[in-house]
Structure 1
């Protein structure tokens, strides 16, 4: 796709277009120009991340996920689906696994339910062991991480960092 096609388009529109077409050059141009919202939505509520997943735009996907303001779990309007919900339903097995793993590595939440009440585990084919294993490993890793977090509530006696930063 030639960049001339996007003349007059806002950076958000260009970002969405780059995600739909795996146009890494256009995406990097938008990133360089700034003045965009990485979590902007199209008319269906799909963000650039949703579009990168839907259109298997793997090069653009990695750039979007690496952006510090990227919400890895945005929910679209029609299906109330996250990008991970869309990824587990992709047709091509190797591409599906790659995109699912990228989203999980970025911290995608496996417990969010879509409009039908389905989590991503409900949507994965039972014979797709690679994706099922990746999701289960992510869930287990997240469960361990959450249980390892120390309680930092300041209203409990004896809690806090012990750094003494609250003293005069």
Structure 2
């Protein structure tokens, strides 16, 4: 081909990988995998989680399969679901599940206040944020003592 590129979209519902031929201006291969098996049962009301390691393995499998179809790839582009959060250790390994954009715990009232976590962050920053945004989830986890052991920093998508 000589002008082939791989694109992988890592979403909460599906992961889709494709090969696009720039000269022909068309998708020549497409692989989609359902993410239902990555869902995890949360411990708290409103918590929405997925297995970050299962998502990584599924993405890696799709990439390898696409490279097997066309080994002469010029580049690879990745996209991911919006607003989620995964905590990483100092080596870049995931030490938490993916808290998805559907995580609703930030809609709970802050103890001792008459506003939610999302409302408080919106008021403090001057920007509208919603429950499920990575920052809201992170603040909720910090204030509730729910940071995972070994977690150094969250990876936020927005």
Which TM class, normalised by the smaller chain length? Answer: under 0.3
Which one has a larger percent strand, Structure 1 or Structure 2? Answer: 2
Structure with more of its chain in helix, by fraction: 1
Instruction: Give the TM-score, by structure 2 length.
Output: 0.27
> TM-score by structure 1 length?
0.26
Structure scoring higher RCO (CA < 8 A, sep ≥ 6) equals 2
